[in-house]
Amino acid sequence: IMLFMPKFKSIHQLSLVLLIVWTATFYYHERYTPSHVIRKCQWPSIISEQDVEPPKTSRMLLVADPQLIDSHTYPGRNNLLLKLSQHTVDAYIKKNYHALLSELSPDYVVFLGDLLDNGRESTDTYFYTQLRRFNKIFYDPYKSVYQKGINWFVNLPGNHDIGFGDGVNKYSRERFNREFAPSNIIITLDGVDFVMLDTPSISATSDISYPATQFLQEISSQEKKHPRVLLSHVPLFRDPQLSCGIHREAGPFDVFGHGFQYQNTVSEELTNQILDQVKPDMILSGDDHDHCDIQHIDGTREITVKSISLAMGKKYPAVQLLSFASVGATEEIVYNTDICYMPVPYVNIIHYVIMSVISALLVLWWNLKQKSTRFTYSSSLLPLNSVINIPVESHSRRLKKFLKEQEQDSLPNEQTPPLSPSSSTYTLASGQHLFSIPNYTFTQNNSSSFMKYVKNSKVGQTYIMNRRRVFTFMKRWNLFSFLKNSMMLGISVIGVYYIFCLTI
């Protein structure tokens, strides 16, 4: 290996080469890979049986369950590890989401709920910090061509945003409608009505369900003038035996699964009511974090969209691409849809760890080459068979010890010792004169209780007994220089990484 190792004249040359390699690595994972992977996704084409020419197609990007993690996600995780986890997840989502917009240029972007992980129980102060975090990843009205309520929609609340059923937090729901966008609304896009229904609230048995129930009644009383696509966070009830299709990663869909503040599907009775009153031509939902493509009894197709996040327990995060158009005199909807996978998670993290180890070994190798020759003599004028440890004492402690020994030899036995280390007064026998020892010869012990604990611990005692040996070892193998060079390289690498993150 050493034969193929380039010759560096200084540690600065080695550090510069490593920094260039790190920069190329960051570019590959943070820029090239997201664009390259997402470029493989293609908008599905649609064919109309009624028109000779293909209809004008609209393109919609559907994003499900970003569910930005927080202390609620990992309650036992320490703050440093939590911040690292949040950064890892946020950076993954952000770079892939921006690659989706730049590479695919959708006409519309729709989120299917669970925008935050703990919006339902958070205080206003905490909620607004998470809202800023969400907007930092997904929405910048000053830089983006996507504007809320026009071609960018966050109208669907999830159970993590407001709660579920009778557990819905009314204040959290009002806050969601105010700060994100109102739910229970119909938005007409290119001749198609997108019905955005608050299914967490409509699943309640109390007055919590009133706004959503009233919305359904209004829809059923209106004439259906356009094709309808129902958008729901919670999937609708379906036959448990139905297959979810080839894109499902986990096992069969657990129709009856439920727990604290969640339920895998809307109840069967409520599902029938929704299908009867909305009369959708298609249904798009989220919440399950995995893909599922089924047909209901009445023939309506429902697609449950996979989560975009790497923290939702799925190996291959994804989004859904929908091409649609309203055609013919009856304005029937024609559409086609396909899944779009994100880059495989954690590959970049593994690569960064390997690069860190290689960088550290190279810096160590360089510093070992530069170690001082005075530690490498093969012989000595005074050969030593063993290492002699000389206790290390401060000058003040030595002086104090010496004076104490001298006084004990010169004073009678009945003389009493000083009352305290800071006192220089002795009680002398009758006829003897008093003299003082300057206070500066006594060293006060001002160390904290923690430092006392460390010094008295087994590890501390071991260090005190071997600190000269450790110091000599570090000097002999040039490890102090290694630590300094590693720290400088690490700071530079982190700086380059954050430049990539901040310029997404």
Residue 169 has pLDDT above 60, yes or no: yes
In a domain, 40, yes or no: no
For 230-258, what is the mean pLDDT?
93
- 120-134, 183-197, 429-443, 482-496, range with the lowest pLDDT: 429-443
- Non-local (6+) Cβ contacts of 285 within 8 A are 112, 231, 232, 233, 234, 235, 236, 302, 303, 304, 305
Q: Which of 76-85, 148-157, 174-183, 268-277 has the lowest mean pLDDT?
A: 76-85
Q: Contacts by 300-307 with C-beta closer than 8 Å and gap 24+?
A: 300/275, 302/235, 302/236, 302/238, 303/337, 304/64, 304/235, 304/244, 304/253, 305/62, 305/63, 305/64, 305/112, 306/64, 306/247, 306/249, 306/339, 307/64, 307/65, 307/66, 307/67
> Does 111 map to a domain?
yes
Interval 233-255 mean pLDDT: 94
pLDDT reading at 131 higher than 70: yes
425 inside domain: no
Tokens of 153: 């929609």
Q: Which residue has the higher pLDDT, 67 or 480?
A: 67
Q: What is the predicted pLDDT for the residue at 391? A: 55
Structure tokens belonging to residue 374: 């005075």
Instruction: Give a yes or no: residue 470 inside a domain.
Output: no
In a domain, 471, yes or no: no
Q: Is 313's pLDDT higher than 60? A: yes
pLDDT, residue 331, reads 74
Q: Is 238 left (phi over 0), alpha (psi -120 to 50) or beta?
A: beta
Q: What is the CATH number of the domain that holds 268?
A: 3.60.21.10
pLDDT given for residue 374 in this prediction: 55
- Whether residue 133 has pLDDT greater than 80: yes
Cβ-Cβ contacts under 8 Å for 325 (sequence gap 6 or more) = 46, 48, 55, 56, 57, 58, 190, 191, 333, 334, 335
The arithmetic mean of pLDDT across residues 258-279, rounded, is: 93
Q: Which two tokens stand for residue 390?
A: 């000389």
Give the model confidence (pLDDT) of 363-402 as tens digits: 999 888 887 555 555 444 455 555 455 555 556 677 677 7
Segment 34-91, tens digit of pLDDT? 999 999 999 999 876 655 556 789 999 999 999 999 988 888 888 899 999 999 999 9
Task: Reply yes or no on whether the pLDDT at 428 is more than 80.
Answer: no
* pLDDT tens by residue, 324-372: 998 865 678 999 999 999 999 999 999 999 999 999 999 999 888 887 5
Q: Which residues on neighbouring strands pair with residue 332, listed in sequence order?
A: 327
CA dihedral 4, 10, 16, 18 (to 10 degrees): 40
Q: Say if 275 falls within a structural domain.
A: yes
CA dihedral 351, 353, 356, 358 (to 10 degrees): -70
Which of 17-26, 168-177, 409-418, 424-433 is predicted least confidently? 424-433
Residue 409 has pLDDT above 80, yes or no: no
Burial (0-12, 13-18, 19+ Cβ within 10 Å), 259: exposed
Segment 99-127, tens digit of pLDDT: 999 999 999 999 999 999 999 999 999 99
Q: How far apart are CA 64 and CA 42, in angstroms?
A: 19
- Sequence-ordered alpha helix ranges (H) in 296-410: 347-369, 395-410
Contact 296, 255 (CB under 8 A): no
For the chain, what percent of residues have pLDDT higher than 90?
63
For residue 314, tell me if it sits in a domain: yes
* Structural domain that includes position 141: 45-338
Query: Could you report the per-residue pLDDT of 287-308, keeping only the tens digit for each?
Result: 999 999 999 999 999 999 999 9
Question: If pLDDT is split at 50, 70 and 90, which confidence band does 263 have?
Answer: very high
- For residue 493, give both structure tokens: 């690498």
pLDDT score of 441: 47
The pLDDT of residue 404 is above 70: yes
Q: Is the whole-model pTM more than 0.85? A: no
Asked whether the beta carbons of 104 and 322 are under 8 A apart, the reply is no
Q: What pLDDT does 167 receive?
A: 94
pLDDT given at position 362: 93
66 vs 407, residue with greater confidence:
66
Is the pLDDT higher at 432 or at 9? 9
Measure CA of the first residue to CA of the last residue in the chain; give whole Å: 38
Q: Are 212 and 198 in contact (CB under 8 A)?
A: yes
Task: Output 248 or 399, whichever has higher pLDDT.
Answer: 248
Instruction: Indicate the number of domains in the chain.
Output: 1
- Residue 416 has a pLDDT of 52
Q: Is residue 180 in a domain?
A: yes
Q: Is residue 421 pLDDT above 70, yes or no? A: no
Rounded average pLDDT over 1-20? 77
pLDDT at position 332 is: 86
Q: Angle at Cα 73 formed by Cα 144 and Cα 292, nearest 5°?
A: 70
Out of 145-154, 291-300, 453-462, which region has the weakest mean confidence (pLDDT)?
453-462
Per cent of the chain over pLDDT 70 is 82
